[in-house]
Amino acid sequence: MLRYRKYLIIIIALLVLLPLVRMGYRYKRSALSKTSLPESGRRQVSDGIAQVGDSARARLRPHFDKARVPYAPGRVSFLAFKQEKTLELWAEKGLPERPDVTSGRAGPRWIYIRTYPVLAASGKAGPKLREGDRQVPEGIYRVLGLNPNSAYHLSIKINYPNNFDQQKAAQDRRTDLGGDIFVHGKNVSIGCLAMGDEAIEELFTLLNDVGVNQVRVIIAPNDMRKMPASLDLNIPWLPELYGILSQELKDYR
């Protein structure tokens, strides 16, 4: 009898602890979107720019000058590669007056500016499928907004799950896709891209100056311009996703 009572106590303890562990994970994941200041002291984006904008622009402008792209450009792209742990910054440049005589095209639209190291990103190759899988999403995303109150210094929120993510989830009958995916500061992350404080100050300021609607974020398992991505995962629509990413990356050479 005592033996069964012991097992019963263990089972009850597990039933109590498991929800608490799950709540702790959700709290840690949502910390990126929460303020580290009291509600009455919440900062606006303009407050964050006032604090870091001048120094961030001073660090950015030499890279734009070297690329011969005026600051601030009309549009920018972030290319994030999970295997390489890098984020490339590209800017749109006005078309040249004369077309390229060899190709007949008007020359490259996107100009490389610089590369940032990704200091932390959990998970592995493959798209994010559900809440709690600790995966960084893969796809083409837009920016929803800038958060100057992030617990991770500053952060940039992307629109995961996007339309593609939602369509494939419906096909797979998956629910609870997760969310709150950010590019942020510091050097720790669960499902997001941690860039360090100086880098996020530059990216945050740049997006403020360009406008969040003028930004595209491409996240790929690896740099597909150099090597095709693996299709080993048992995801029926993965070739479609990687085909889209590979085609998009051809504009950035």
Tokens 């740049």 belong to: 206
DSSP secondary structure, 77-99, as one string: EEEEETTTTEEEEEEE-PPPSS-
The predicted structure's pLDDT at residue 38: 40
Residues in the chain, total: 253
pTM across the whole model: 0.82
The predicted structure's pLDDT at residue 240: 98
Range 130-152 burial, b when 16+ CB lie within 10 A, else e: ebeebbbbbbbbebeebbbbbbb
The predicted structure's pLDDT at residue 40: 44
Is residue 88 within 8 Å of residue 79, measured between CB atoms? yes
The predicted structure's pLDDT at residue 93: 83
Q: Tell me how far apart the alpha carbons of residues 73 and 93 are, in angstroms, rounded to a whole number.
A: 7
Q: Tell me how far apart the alpha carbons of residues 223 and 82 are, in angstroms, rounded to a whole number.
A: 8
Tokens of 25: 């994970």
User: pLDDT tens-digit profile of 175-206?
Assistant: 999 999 999 999 999 999 999 999 999 999 99
Q: Tell me how far apart the alpha carbons of residues 32 and 245 are, in angstroms, rounded to a whole number.
A: 27
Residues of the chain with pLDDT under 70: 1-41, 94-108
The predicted structure's pLDDT at residue 64: 97
- Give the CATH number of domain 34-249; options: 3.20.20.70, 1.10.10.60, 2.20.140.10, 2.40.440.10: 2.40.440.10
List phi, psi (to 5°) of 237.
-95, 5
182-184 and 76-81: which strand pairing?
unpaired
The residues with which 81 forms a beta bridge, in sequence order, are: 86, 220
